[in-house]
Chains A and B, each alone.
Chain A
Amino acid sequence: MIHFDCVSKRYPPGMDALSALSFTVAEGEMVTITGHSGAGKSTLLNLIAAIEKPTSGSVLVAGQNVGSLSRTALPYLRRRLGLVLQNQQLLFDRTVFDNVMLPLAITGFPPKEAAQRVRAALDKVGLAAREKALPIALSGGEQQRVAIARAVVSRPAILLADEPTAHLDSATAADVARIFHEFNRAGVTVLIATYDAQLFPAVRSLHLDHGHLIPSIPEHSLTRASC
């Protein structure tokens, strides 16, 4: 589903955020990306969502080389992804319902069906009762769950989450982790960048150290090819 082939990302004036990364994530798999702050976790997710382009190498998502996508093709790639960003980026002038509705409004979903989907997504993250609230009235954990509902409402094949449990107390963090597991069980390919891999036990982990992939076990889909 996701394939990195000798991917490097260099920021001027010569700082390597990612160096010669090669790995594959299978369809329906759940993978965590771990590593210290500044190890390149966010950069890796940004490359998948084509928020940034690799300096060299290729990133394939469902067989598409996302680094060479045209500006007009980009929106259609993004619609297949669910993104949970580090700062939730909720729109604070709109209700929870409207925030979760946004991806469906963008794709031009029929309004009635869209409303049902929004309620289903909010129900899944346990916020069915708060749909009329403004995000400012929610706790950090609730805001995070709204962001997750927004990421999954269009039923994407791939879910990317950047530190979804940061700034959450352990009970709430466990709750959020459980939600991701549920989506994965429903067949969604899930990639989570996290400093706390213990929230996701029995999940393959890609460990980054200063932009390099550190091999771990099991390593069935990890290839250390020479680039």
Chain B
Amino acid sequence: MLNTWLHQHRLALRLALRRLSKTPWITLLSLLAIGIAITLPVGGQLLLDNARQLLRNASTTPQISIFMATSARRATADALSAKLNNHAAVARFQFLPREATLARIKTNPNLREVVEALPDNPYPDAFIVTARDDSAASLDALAEEFRQWPDVAHVQLDSAWVRRLDAFLRLGRNALALLDGLLAAGLVAITFNITRMQALTHRTEIELSQLLGATPGFIRRPFLYFGALLGLGGGLTACVLVTLATWWLDRPLADLLYLYDIRFSLQPLQLRDTAVLLGASTILGWLGALLSLGQRLRRT
């Protein structure tokens, strides 16, 4: 039973391969059309990933500054130190004792006189905190939490650029999702049409098979393999195109960024992304063929 099933699938696959190789130019151009269609969203994803990487490398990680009240006692600051130490959302922090700050300011000859004229040390104890999660929302939440702590006079979070980056990446992600959807539909449409032409070419065979007692499943099988192979081939074409583009753009981009003192290299397509890409294109090709055949078989 299983053998028969395997044998039938092997026959269908062989038939699909033969049909693809019988019209090499049409096959090649179809693969190119599908490949280019897939290259756009995949290339976009790659650019987005790289942009994220680049922005993360280029900018300093956002930090939260906590300024204590000048009246606060050192014991309170030590207690906050201990709290930050145990805080799950804090990656690391630095304690700046007010004496050290004063000493540092005094090294500046211009400010030294001004500071020495003051009766007290004007600088508070301070902490500089690096959060584990640098998304705008969690930074905001963390800053708000710090504000509630005792003897904290001021919490400063420079989140403007984090927000901009977030908005930029969100726009990129949404645009890409849109592109993904459109081109997935495009891929289905392409395989739908190619399969339809195939079904027309093999109309005699379909009709004859029906007369000889073939089930719709039997008739559909080679066409489904045909569509899936087209999708898979298109996916592979896209992988090659994206890899070529990465290789082509990597050097000039690195040279450009070097001028801005940024060391960067384009990350190629990851193995996991490649697998997802090939899987998705195969399934979409199969789907296009299924829709095309479903329509055709209902009419005959």
Question: Taking beta carbons and an 8 Å cutoff, which residues of A are in contact with B?
Answer: 49, 51, 72, 75-79, 81, 83, 85, 89, 91, 102-103, 105-111, 150
Q: Fill in one digit per residue for B1-39: 1 if any A CB lies within 8 Å of its CB, else 0.
A: 001110110010000000000000000000000000000
Contacts of A83 in B (CB 8 A): 211-212
> B207, B208, B209, B218 — which one has the most chain A CB atoms within 10 A of its CB?
B208
Q: Write the nearest CB–CB distance from A3 to chain B, whole angstroms.
A: 21
Enumerate chain B interface residues (CB-CB to A < 8 A).
Answer: 3-5, 7-8, 11, 204-205, 207-215, 218
Pair B213/A103 contact, Cβ less than 8 Å: yes
The answer on a CB contact under 8 Å between A106 and B214 is yes
Residue pair A49, B211 in contact (C-beta under 8 Å): yes
Tell me the complex Cα distance, A91–B212, Å.
13
Measured in the bound complex, the distance between the Cα atoms of B210 and A103 in whole Å is 10
**Nearest CB of A to B187, in Å:** 28
* Chain B, interface SS category: helix
CB distance from B254 to the nearest CB of A (A): 53
A107 CA to B217 CA in the complex, in Å? Answer: 12
B208 touches A102 (CB 8 A): yes
Tell me, rounded to whole Å, the shortest Cβ–Cβ distance linking B2 to chain A. Answer: 11
Q: How far is the CB of B225 from chain A (nearest CB, A)?
A: 15
Determine whether the beta carbon of B4 is less than 8 Å from that of A108.
yes
Question: Nearest residue in B to A78 (C-beta to C-beta)?
Answer: B213
In the complex, residue of chain B having the shortest beta-carbon distance to the beta carbon of A71: B216
Which residue of B7, B204, B213 is within 8 Å of A75 (Cβ)? Answer: B213
CB pair A91 B205 closer than 8 Å: yes
Q: A51-B211, A83-B211, A103-B212 are in contact. Are A110 and B204 (CB under 8 A)?
A: no
Kindly provide the distance from the CB of A156 to the nearest chain B CB, expressed in whole angstroms.
Answer: 10
- The reply to whether A78 and B211 form a contact with Cβ atoms under 8 Å apart is yes
A49 to B208, CA, bound (A): 13
CA distance A105 to B210 in the complex (A): 13
Give, as a whole number of angstroms, the nearest-CB distance from B217 to chain A.
Answer: 9
**Closest Cβ of chain B: how far from A100's Cβ, in Å?**
11
Given A75-B213, A108-B8, 14 additional A-B pairs, CB 8 A: A49-B211, A72-B215, A75-B210, A75-B214, A76-B213, A83-B212, A89-B207, A91-B204, A102-B208, A106-B214, A106-B218, A108-B4, A110-B3, A150-B212
